[in-house]
Every structure is written in C-alpha cells, then in structure tokens.
Amino acid sequence: MPVYEFKCKCGHITEELVRMDTQVVECPKCHDKAKKILSACSFELKGGGWFADGYASSKK
C-alpha cells in the first residue's frame, strides 16, 4: 500500500499507509479531518523505478 500525505486545517501533515481511495484521515494532533495531498507522482515514479531495477537485476 502506498504512503500518502494528509494535511489538516491545523497545519499538521501526517503520513499514512492507506488505500488509494482514502481521501481523509483523522489528524493525530487535533482529531479533525486531514485531507489527502495529491503529490503522489513521486510515488508512481518510484514504482516505475523499482520495476525497472527488478527487470535489470533479473537480467544479470
């Protein structure tokens, strides 16, 4: 499962391991709702890199 960042109204940012369709989590600081920050492109790039690495190493 991917790690997403969630930002709360109080300014606290929390990282959570959640399902892709999870849009909000509870802020650990103020227990309000923290919304997902859509910066998941870096994760997708990482996923692609991992696949490429695995392919390269299995070729050796």
In the complex with Zn ion, which residue's Cβ is closer, 13 or 45?
Answer: 13
Among residues 22, 23, 24, 29, which is the contact residue for Zn ion, using CB under 5 A? Answer: 29
27 makes contact with Zn ion (CB under 5 A)? yes
Beta carbons within 8 Å of 46's beta carbon, 6+ residues apart: none
* DSSP-assigned states of every residue in 13-55: EEEEE--TT--EEE-TTT-SEEEEP--THHHHHHHHHHHHHHH
In the complex with Zn ion, which residue's Cβ is closer, 35 or 40?
Answer: 35
In the complex with Zn ion, which residue's Cβ is closer, 10 or 52?
Answer: 10
